[in-house]
Amino acid sequence: MNFFNEDNFLHQFFLFLGKLIALNLLWMISSLPLITVGASTTALYYCTLKLHKDKDIFCWKAYWKSFRRNFLQSTIIWLLLLLAAGCLWLEWQSLATMPAEMGQIFRYVVMAAAILLVLTALYVFSTVSAFENKTFRLVSYAFYFVLKNPAYAIAVTAITCLPMYFTLVDAQLFPVYLFFWLMCGFSLTAYADSWFFWLLYRPFFPEEPTIPETAL
């Protein structure tokens, strides 16, 4: 078996792994200011979606292309998500001051709003990376894709949230989880999510672009 043969499975695997490690590193570095997390996540999804679409990309060029192009829009969405999360947290804290029956009702309202916010956060940055439109329309596209296939939404939520949950609760294996996240955890999660996203977005990528205008 010739490892340097481009058709060799191991050769292809390590090339793919190298791309994931590079994307993971780019995402972590560009997310350090925290305010840039939205633009970084959009750029990460842009690259992982293109890996599904085109099978091969030049990570550095594709990542920064999306980062620059979507910086303002993604940052606005990121800040709005943080604001909404802060409001929900304050509302949750205020439930203790409400009468029991009213507090129970509002508890369900806040939980429903939190689920909707999480789903929006999971979908919206990949939507921004794939399509070009006004911010409000892109957020509405995210809602549309969530409702279009709820099973995909459940799968994306599980793929994204469960590894993070186990990382936080399993103190014994925390170093192993940490190594995984630092190596390729974020990019691998985005790549797995993008498999579902690409199935949803692919009908909007004919030879002639149609509304919604595509960005990939």
pLDDT for 213 equals 53
123: left (phi over 0), alpha (psi -120 to 50) or beta: alpha
pLDDT at 205: 82
Examine residue 152 and state whether it is found in any structural domain, yes or no. Answer: yes
State the Cα–Cα distance between residues 2 and 6, nearest whole angstrom.
Answer: 9
b/e per residue, 2-20, with b = 16+ CB within 10 A?
A: eeeeeeeeeeeeeeeeebb
What pLDDT does 207 receive? 57
Q: pLDDT category, 210, cuts 50, 70, 90?
A: very low
Q: Does residue 131 lie within any of the structural domains?
A: yes
| pLDDT tens per residue across span 64-106 | 999 999 999 999 999 999 999 999 999 888 877 877 778 788 8
| Total number of domains in the chain | 1
Residue 80 lies in a domain: no
- Domain with 192, as residue range(s), is 9-74+122-214
Inside any domain, residue 95: no
φ, ψ for residue 27 (rounded to 5)?
Answer: -65, -45
Q: Is residue 99 part of a domain?
A: no
Kindly state whether residue 94 falls inside one of the protein's structural domains: no
114 domain residue, yes or no:
no
pLDDT tens column, 169-193: 988 889 999 999 999 999 999 999 9
Tell whether 208 is covered by a domain: yes
CA separation for the pair 109, 82 (Å, rounded)? 18
- Tokens for 206? 């004919």
**pTM to 2 decimals?**
0.89
Share of the chain above pLDDT 90, in %: 70
- Return the bridge partners of 131, or none: 214
